[in-house]
Structures are given as C-alpha cells and as structure tokens.
Amino acid sequence: MRQKTLLVVRHAKSCWLDDSLDDIDRPLNPRGIANAPEMGQRLLQRKHVPDRIISSAAVRAFATAAAIAAKLDYPKDDIFVADNLYHGSKDDVLGVIEALSEEIHTVMIVLHNPTITELANHAAAEEIDNVPTCGVLLIEAATWAGFREDGTLIDFDYPKRPQE
C-alpha cells in the first residue's frame, strides 16, 4: 500500500495595515506574496505535488494555497475551502484528514498557528517551537486515519531555511 503524504502549510505573512478588517479577511503582505510561490516552487522541485488542496476560509490562507497551487499547476478553482480549519483545533484538522478517500495519496492543507505547530509536534520526534509563516511540514502515514496515531514528520521547510 502506498504511503499517504500530508503537506501542512502555515499561511504566508499577512498584512496588518487595515485594522478595520476582520481577522479572517486579512490579505497577504508583500513578503507573503513573494514567499508563497517560492515555497510552491520548492515543493515542485521535490516532486511533492498534491492530489488535493484544502484551505482554511481565511483570505490569507486561501491566497497562500492559490499561489502555491499556481506553481504546482493545480487549478485554483479546485482548492477546497474547509470553514472549520479557521480557528480549528488539531482534532478538527485530523477529522478533515481522516475523511479523505484512500484513493487520494497526497494532500496539502493550509491553516494557522497554533494548530499547525501542534500538528508538527504531534508528528515530530523533536519539539518544534513554532512553524513560521509559509512553513511547510511533510508528514507521512500508512493511511489517512493513521495520522492521528503514527504520522511521521519527514521534512520541515520554510522561506528563511537555507537551501542546499
């Protein structure tokens, strides 16, 4: 049976200039606009292309998902928005993952802190203090349900991480 691969992405850096916006409506700032396609390019170079992309309903999360998707030649209109990922807990995310069809092998999910750092530490052998904006975790398990018990963190990349 083929491993399941989960790419967990923290949304790129967001803009705080307009304090009249609700948190869910904050867009990406210039650094976020630059970082998201860069991380998409890194995923493409490593051949980590998702079969499905799922995003939080937040504007900044969807913009991150769309920018990465563009680099992966994944249609923006096929990005699924899961409302429960905005302010969602680790268990909410695991519930979304467990509901995936076993026919799907690689999924990218774009969400927020502190949930993404909780997921990282759920799967990591070592403590991760913080997943930075536009950070990408690559976690594998035998089945989608397996992420609750035995997901293994394989890679952790982020925009300021030195590249080989």
Give the residue among 133, 134, 135, 127 at the shortest CA–CA distance from 155.
135
State the pairing for strand pair 4-10/106-111: parallel
pLDDT tens for each residue of 29-38 = 999 999 999 9
Give the residue among 159, 124, 158 at the shortest CA–CA distance from 139.
124
**Under 8 Å between Cβ of 122 and 97:** no
How confident is residue 1, by pLDDT bands cut at 50, 70 and 90?
Answer: low
Residue bearing tokens 């210039």:
30
45 or 150, which is more confident: 45
pLDDT tens for each residue of 68-120 = 999 999 999 999 999 999 999 999 999 999 999 999 999 999 999 999 999 88
CATH class of 1-6+16-52+66-73+80-109+122-144: alpha beta
pLDDT tens for each residue of 122-155 = 887 778 899 999 999 999 999 999 988 888 999 9
| Every domain of the chain and the residues it spans | 1-6+16-52+66-73+80-109+122-144
Q: Could you tell me the pTM of the whole model?
A: 0.95
